[in-house]
Structure formats: structure tokens, C-alpha cells
Amino acid sequence: MDTQDAQDDPDATEQPQPPVTRCYRHPERECYVRCTRCDRYICPDCMREAPVGHQCVECVREGSGTVREPRTAFGGRIGGAPVATWVLIGVNVLAYLLELASPGVLDRLENLGTGLRGPDGGTYLAVGGPYPGFQAVGVAHGEWYRLITSTFLHLLPTQGILGITHILFNMYWLWLLGRIMEQQLGRARFVALYLLSALGGSVLVYLLAPTESTVGASGAIFGLAAGYYVTARRLRHDPAAANRLIITFLIWMVISAGMASWQGHLGGLLTGGAVTLAFAFAPRNRRTPVQAASAVLVLAVLVALVLLKTRQLTGAA
């Protein structure tokens, strides 16, 4: 085609138009901005501000999933409601209501090392025997569950000097200390601390006073107090307040010795302190495995002590 023909044909001089670019999420929308992460075209509704340019919705979501969640020095998540503390208080209150409705559950679930159940169904604290018509009961006779079930029971209003103040005092301290320790440790570690402290209190009662029957969450509460003392000292958060708290609990242990089980208090205090020390000083790069192994080790020691005491009691019988 000569020059004159090209001038007469305007279509011959038009340049090819670039293809229309559309949003990958909204194909009906024309757009010209790319995601700086995946390089796909995005419309204004799909744009999210980024340190450089804009990113699409999916890239922002993926990026958020890779951000490390902030945690405390002991591995607990920052913020959040103290759900575990509420649940533990709820379980204790429900168990107390069950006691009020059926007081016989105390004989079945209280912490008792060795005793006898009479023909009338009552539990009697006795050693030796044999006693015709009586059945041997207690931890030494296979009822290991008593070591834990007893920690969710409390004295009834008609029992002893403490009465209903027994559960009120324990739940008050569980509410105060539980929220702090759950925030510092996280729910799983907090529950482990609570249950191991409760078990440690029951085990020491079993070791030192196997013919005494005990109930109450005091061992767990003393364990939380020891845990609070350790974490406060570890973080250097008002050590004077931590000292006052632990001294208060030690004084209460002495005062309540005639009304409650000092063995349970001391066992919970020692176990809670040991568990929290392991949690607080675990190396950061291996924190979770070391903390889990420490909790399992404490549990194994408690189980071994129960086995040794059981062998002693049943062998003597």
C-alpha cells in the first residue's frame, strides 16, 4: 500500500490497544493497581494499606497469620478473659451444691488414706482389724480418685468452725490469684499449676495423716499463692507485696492448723512453688517442652510417693 492509500485509510495508522486489566476478585471491574505481594490486579474495594503500596485481602490475611502472637515471659497470651478461673470456681460451687443436696458424697469423695465403711454406709476412721461387716476404703485401697475429688469439696455449714466460710475464703482467693496467674501463665499452664498444687496438698495429707479425712481447695490456693510469689520475684514486680502475700498465707497455715489440714496447705504451697519455678525459669527457646516435662516430672514424683505410702500401709495391714 502506497503512502496515499495509507493516508486515505485512517484504520491503517491505529496502534493496538493494551488489554483491559480487571480485579482478580471482581472481574467486572477495570483496574490498574497491583498487589505488591502477589502482583495481582486489585480494585479499590480489595486494596489494603501496606508498608509499601497496597496488598490484596488474601495477602493481608496470610501476612497476619505469620505474625508472632505476643506472649508473657512465661508463655501466656496477652489479654483475654480468665475463662479457666471462672470454670474452676463454677466447678467448686457446683460440687458444693451437690454436697448440700446429698451430704453422703463427702464420705465417698473426701481425701481419706485408709478407713472403714460400715454396714450403714458411713465411713469410719480406723486401722487394724479385721472388723466383720466393714469394708476397707480410701486411697490405700485403690480409691485414688479421692486425691483430686476431695479438692473440689468443702465443709458444709454444719461442719466445724469454718463452715460455709471454708468455700467462701477459697473462692475469694481463687478469684484474686487465679486471674493474675492465668494471665501470666496462660490457661493450660495455669490449670496444670492449680491441679498439681491441689494434688500435692492431698498427697502430703496422705503421707503424714492417712487416717484423717480432708476436703477443700486450700492446697490449690496455697499453690497459686506460691506461684504468684515466684512470678512476682522473677519479674521484679513489687517484691514487697509478694512477700506480704506469702507471709499472710504462712500465718494462716499456722492459725488454721487446728481447724483445717496444715498438711494440705503445706503440700500445695511446696508443689505450686516447684511447678512455677520450672515454668518461670524455662529457657525461652525451649520453653514449652521444658515446662511440660517439668509438670510431668512433678506429677511422677507425686504418684511415686503415693505408691510408696500405699505399699507401706497395705504391707503393714
Domain-wise residue ranges, the chain? 17-64, 83-316
Integer-rounded Cα Rg, in Å, for the chain is 33
Spell 63-101 as b/e; 16+ CB within 10 A means b: eeeeeeeeeeebbbeeeeebebbeebbeebeebbeebee
Pair 217, 114: CB distance under 8 Å: no
3-class secondary-structure state, position 21: coil
Sign of CA dihedral 107, 108, 112, 115: positive
For residue 291, give the nearest of 219, 184, 202 by alpha carbon: 184
Dihedral (Cα; 223, 229, 235, 239), 10-degree rounding: 170
Q: What is the grid cell recorded at 104?
A: 453422703
Active site residue: 213, 218, 261, 294, which one? Answer: 218
Q: Give the β-pairing of 111-112 and 115-117.
A: unpaired
How many Å apart are CA 57 and CA 71, to the nearest integer? 26
Tens digit of each residue's pLDDT (9 = 90 or more) over 81-126: 899 999 999 999 999 999 999 988 888 899 998 887 766 656 655 5
Pair 134, 117: CB distance under 8 Å: yes
Q: Does residue 316 surpass a pLDDT of 70?
A: no
3-class secondary-structure state, position 123: strand
Tens digit of each residue's pLDDT (9 = 90 or more) over 260-311: 788 999 999 999 999 999 999 988 888 889 999 999 999 999 999 999 999 9
Q: What is the DSSP string of 31-65?
A: --EE-TTT--EE-GGG-EE-SSSEE-HHHHHHHHH
* pLDDT (mean) for 235-241: 79
How many Å apart are CA 256 and CA 262, to the nearest integer? 7
Active site residue: 54, 141, 166, 265, which one? Answer: 265
Task: Pick one of 1.10.3720.10, 3.50.50.60, 2.30.30.790, 1.20.1540.10 as the CATH number of 83-316.
Answer: 1.20.1540.10
DSSP element (H, E) containing 213: strand 213-214
- Residue 306 Cα distances to 6, 200, 214, 261, 317, angstroms: 104, 10, 16, 18, 16
By CB atoms closer than 10 A (0-12, 13-18, 19+), residue 24 is middle
Q: Judge whether 265 counts as a catalytic residue.
A: yes
Q: Judge whether 197 counts as a catalytic residue.
A: no
Q: In the chain, what percentage of residues exceed pLDDT 90?
A: 41
Whole-prediction pTM value?
A: 0.75
How many Å apart are CA 86 and CA 313, to the nearest integer? 38
Q: Does residue 253 surpass a pLDDT of 70?
A: yes
